[in-house]
């Protein structure tokens, strides 16, 4: 089977054309990144890594995106389960609403979030009373990150729950388990790979957010905003090392999370 596929790709003109076109698309992703990495010297990277502002921004970006993902998962995973399993009024509307943050401009999303969490809003005022400052604070960064990245977790988890045969949940109910027990011992473990994949995607999307965060909380400064600021103030040469460093850190975390999710999947089988 594999052999016949290899032969077909080598000899069939259509597949040769596809290989060429696909290669060009792949190059479009790889070339700018490689170019940027190659144009940055080791000395520049070390110097940037020692910059306290850069360290602070990368650390801030990492933890805010992780906490935003963790907090929103508490609501997103149950919602994904309801969407996968239950019929309810306006379900189609809910499904469409979930994808809204993906399609709207992120600066507009930032404006929406800002209005929602500003000091004169109900949420903003309530946050203030509890000592949480959204505008210009970590909470605001997390709100902006969560807003634009939530659809990735909900959609992945919904597909994951959908792929769990309903019969398994019924069988567990039939054995006397409560619905909560069925959810935690059958549905979640079986959809875990998709949920984990959704968590990683949501986190990665939050990590890379610029537009919405810049509107809600330009300071404290997160890495994508810092890159933009250095580019605006000092030009391409100064924005490049921090970009390479940030991408490198993201890749390390991203690959580690992927490996972890694969190991968990194999362990659960």
How big is the chain, counted in residues? 269
Kindly state the smallest distance separating residue 48's Cβ from other proteins, in Å. 45
Kindly state the smallest distance separating residue 195's Cβ from other proteins, in Å. 13
CA gap 202, 194 in Å, rounded:
12
How does DSSP classify residue 208? Answer: T
Kindly state the smallest distance separating residue 188's Cβ from other proteins, in Å. 10
**Residue 39 or 91 having the CB closest to other proteins:** 91
**Residue 13 or 174 having the CB closest to other proteins:** 174
**Residue 129 or 167 having the CB closest to other proteins:** 167
Neighbours of 121 (CB within 10 A): 15
CA gap 203, 255 in Å, rounded:
13
**Residue 44 or 159 having the CB closest to other proteins:** 159
The angle formed by the CA atoms of residues 137, 132 and 61, to the nearest 5 degrees, is 35
Tokens 């605001």 correspond to what residue? 140
**Residue 184 or 234 having the CB closest to other proteins:** 184
Q: Tokens standing for 102?
A: 């993906």
Q: Tokens standing for 141?
A: 């960064």
**Residue 19 or 178 having the CB closest to other proteins:** 178
CA dihedral 212, 215, 216, 221 (to 10 degrees): 90
Q: Return the closest-CA partner of residue 238 out of 71, 105, 48, 56.
A: 48
Kindly state the smallest distance separating residue 153's Cβ from other proteins, in Å. 21
Kindly state the smallest distance separating residue 179's Cβ from other proteins, in Å. 10
H-run or E-run covering 39: none
Residue ranges in contact with other proteins by CB under 8 A: 165, 167-168, 170-178, 181, 185-186, 189-190, 268-269
Kindly state the smallest distance separating residue 75's Cβ from other proteins, in Å. 25
CA gap 248, 257 in Å, rounded:
14
**Residue 171 or 236 having the CB closest to other proteins:** 171
> How far is C-alpha 161 from the chain's CA centre?
19
């Amino acid at each position: 089977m594999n052999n016949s596929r290899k032969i077909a790709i080598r000899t069939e003109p259509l597949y040769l054309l596809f290989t060429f076109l696909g290669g060009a698309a792949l190059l479009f992703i790889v070339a700018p990144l490689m170019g940027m990495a190659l144009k940055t010297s080791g000395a520049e990277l070390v110097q940037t890594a020692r910059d306290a502002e850069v360290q602070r921004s990368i650390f801030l970006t990492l933890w805010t995106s992780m906490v935003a993902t963790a907090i929103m998962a508490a609501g997103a995973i149950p919602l994904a389960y309801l969407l996968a399993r239950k019929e309810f009024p306006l379900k189609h509307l809910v499904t469409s609403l979930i994808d809204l943050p993906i399609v709207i401009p992120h600066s507009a999303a930032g404006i929406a979030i800002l209005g929602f969490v500003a000091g004169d809003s109900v949420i903003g005022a309530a946050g203030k009373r509890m000592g949480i400052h959204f505008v210009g604070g970590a909470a605001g960064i997390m709100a902006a990150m969560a807003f634009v990245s939530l659809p990735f977790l909900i959609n992945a988890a919904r597909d994951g729950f959908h792929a769990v045969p309903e019969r398994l949940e019924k069988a567990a109910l039939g054995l006397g388990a409560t619905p909560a027990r069925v959810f935690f011992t059958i549905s979640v473990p079986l959809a875990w790979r998709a949920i984990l994949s959704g968590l990683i995607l949501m986190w990665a999307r939050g990590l890379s957010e610029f537009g919405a965060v810049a509107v809600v909380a330009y300071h404290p400064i997160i890495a994508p905003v810092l890159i933009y600021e250095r580019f605006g103030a000092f030009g391409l040469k100064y924005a490049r090392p921090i970009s390479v460093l940030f991408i490198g850190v993201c890749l390390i975390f991203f690959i580690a999370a992927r490996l972890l999710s694969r190991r968990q999947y194999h362990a659960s089988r």
